[in-house]
Every structure is written in C-alpha cells, then in structure tokens.
C-alpha cells in the first residue's frame, strides 16, 4: 500500500469529526453527560496550510459553549497562543460580526481549550498550560501585576495506561489510543512505519477495535498516518539540527519532500540545504 502524500487531513480530525462522537468525547473528559437533544455544531477552521486545516477540531454545544480540541504527539508550549488565534477566527465564523458594533451586549459561547496528547515522551495524566506564562516581564511599565488576558489549556495524556476513567467513558478515544499504541509497539519491535501501520490496522480489525471505521477507511488511515508520522520524524530531526524554526515556516516544502518519497536522511539533508541557503 503506497501513501498518497498529498492527503492533508489528520486521522484524529477525520475520526472525531462526528457530532455524536464529539458528544461522547466531551462528556468523558468533563464528566458531564450531554443529552442527544442538545445540538453540537462543528466549526473547524480551514486554511491553505499543512493538513489543510488551521485547527484540529472546534465545535459548539447548544451554542453556549465553544470547544477547541487539539491533538498533539509532542507538547508545544506555544499552544495557548495558537489557540488564542484560533478562537478569534472561530468567533468571526460563528458570531454575527455586525452586532459587535451595536450598543447592546452580544452574548457569545464560552470558550474551552483542550489538548489530547499521545506522544512517545513521558507526560503526566493532566496538566495546564497558560497564555500568561509566555508574557514578557513588565516590571517598571505597569503598577500592578494583574494579567488582563489569560487563556488556560487543559492537557490530557491519552496514551494507554493514562486517564483510564476518560478512556473508559469514550470507546472511540480508547480504541484510537489502542490503535496508535499498537503502531508504536510494532515499531519498537523493529518494523518500519509502513509495515507497522498495516499490521496495526489488521490487528485492530481482527480485534474489533475501530473495526467498521478501519474497514471503510483503511487506505485513508494509512495515508494520513504516514504523512503525520513522517512529519513528526522530520520535525524531530529539525530540532536535533537546530532547524525547528525553519521547518515550521516551511511545512509546504516538507510535504513536497514527502511527495518525492525521500528517506528521513534525505529529508534532513534537503532541510539542511534550505537552511544554509537562507
């Protein structure tokens, strides 16, 4: 099975872009049941960047709560700033902007920010990232230390063995966690990524793990994971080489390299050449 490198969706977004699954996911995380009659509307942002999406998932619950969920295989401490930008765009999308200029107060959905982590590095079950942690010191410029703008992100580790109470309440999330865990296991046992993904797909279908989803979308899942995981590998190489900033600014260039079926070492060499040239 050969990867279509031009596919720019992500498996997580593809799997969870369903109102009923999002209802189950949010209920599991918050411990609050969301009845079927309460509407959930997906409003994920689209844009011409990597994966053809700006954010992973965003949706409103009864038009009273707007939830942004990001899936991360590495912890990015800039995620609060990114989510601040995303939520501004989401509000532009779901709020009648003409009413912003009227005298009457325009009520808007309350925001909530969640990151689901399933990377290889050790991470606690739960942590909180805050936008204020990125603010520069303002001593001598402001009389009080009050922060006028804050954004709090709740980060949950969804790897197997972490947050069992959440995974137990959301079968789709638990199945997704098992699936990714099997890929890591096969890789740890020496299989190349393509073979590891194929074996994990077959294992999960045989063991009723995302079975219907994988039977219907096996080729798409394979393509998505190869693109995502090759990107993660390239980014890891870039960090080792001190080129992370250049790679972040060159996502499209990375996808072009993947189109050429280059190895990790060849991608590393090309990225080095690009950084040297710039």
| Structural domain contains residue 5 | no
| Structural domain contains residue 94 | yes
Q: What pLDDT does 54 receive?
A: 74
State yes or no: pLDDT of 270 exceeds 60. yes
| Structural domain contains residue 113 | yes
Q: In the chain, how many domains are there?
A: 1
Q: What pLDDT does 210 receive?
A: 96
| Structural domain contains residue 2 | no
State yes or no: pLDDT of 223 exceeds 90. no
Domain that holds residue 136: 11-277
| Of the candidate ranges 67-76, 112-121, 269-278, the one whose mean pLDDT is the lowest | 269-278
| Structural domain contains residue 101 | yes
pLDDT band at 229 (very low <50, low <70, confident <90, very high): confident
* Tens-place pLDDT, residues 85-127: 999 999 999 999 999 999 999 999 999 999 999 998 999 999 9
Percent of the chain with pLDDT over 90: 62
Q: Which residue has the higher pLDDT, 110 or 143?
A: 110
| Structural domain contains residue 4 | no
Q: Once rounded to an integer, what is the mean pLDDT over residues 26-39?
A: 95
* Tens-place pLDDT, residues 199-210: 999 999 999 999
| Structural domain contains residue 156 | yes
* Tens-place pLDDT, residues 177-220: 999 999 999 999 999 889 999 999 999 999 999 999 999 999 88
| Structural domain contains residue 3 | no
Contacts (Cβ under 8 Å, ≥6 apart) of 189: none
0.75 cut: is pTM over it? yes
Taking CA atoms, 137 is separated from 132, 140, 142, 144, 268, in Å, by 10, 9, 10, 12, 37
> Do 66 and 58 form a contact (C-beta atoms < 8 A)?
yes
């Amino acid at each position: 099975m050969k990867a279509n490198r031009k596919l720019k969706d992500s498996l997580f977004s593809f799997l969870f872009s369903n109102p009923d699954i999002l209802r189950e996911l949010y209920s599991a995380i918050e411990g609050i049941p969301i009845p079927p009659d309460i509407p959930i509307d997906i409003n994920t942002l689209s844009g011409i960047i990597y994966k053809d999406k700006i954010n992973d998932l965003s949706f409103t619950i009864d038009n009273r709560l707007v939830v942004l969920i990001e899936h991360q295989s590495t912890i990015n401490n800039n995620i609060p700033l990114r989510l601040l930008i995303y939520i501004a765009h989401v509000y532009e999308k779901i709020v009648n902007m003409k009413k912003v200029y009227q005298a009457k107060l325009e009520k808007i959905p309350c925001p909530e920010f969640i990151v689901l982590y399933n990377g290889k590095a050790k991470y606690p079950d739960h942590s909180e990232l805050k936008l204020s942690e990125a603010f520069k010191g303002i001593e001598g410029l402001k009389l009080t230390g009050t922060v006028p703008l804050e954004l709090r992100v709740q980060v949950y580790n969804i790897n197997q063995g972490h947050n069992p109470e959440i995974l137990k309440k959301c079968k789709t999330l638990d199945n997704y966690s098992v699936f990714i865990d099997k890929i890591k296991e096969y890789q740890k046992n020496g299989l190349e990524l393509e073979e590891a993904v194929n074996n994990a797909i077959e294992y999960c279908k045989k063991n009723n793990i995302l079975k219907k989803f994988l039977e219907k979308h096996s080729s798409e899942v394979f393509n998505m994971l190869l693109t995502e995981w090759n990107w993660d590998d390239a980014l890891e190489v870039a960090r080792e080489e001190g080129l992370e900033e250049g790679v972040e600014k060159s996502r499209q260039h990375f996808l072009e390299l993947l189109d050429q079926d280059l190895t990790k070492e060849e991608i590393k060499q090309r990225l080095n050449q690009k950084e040297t040239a710039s």
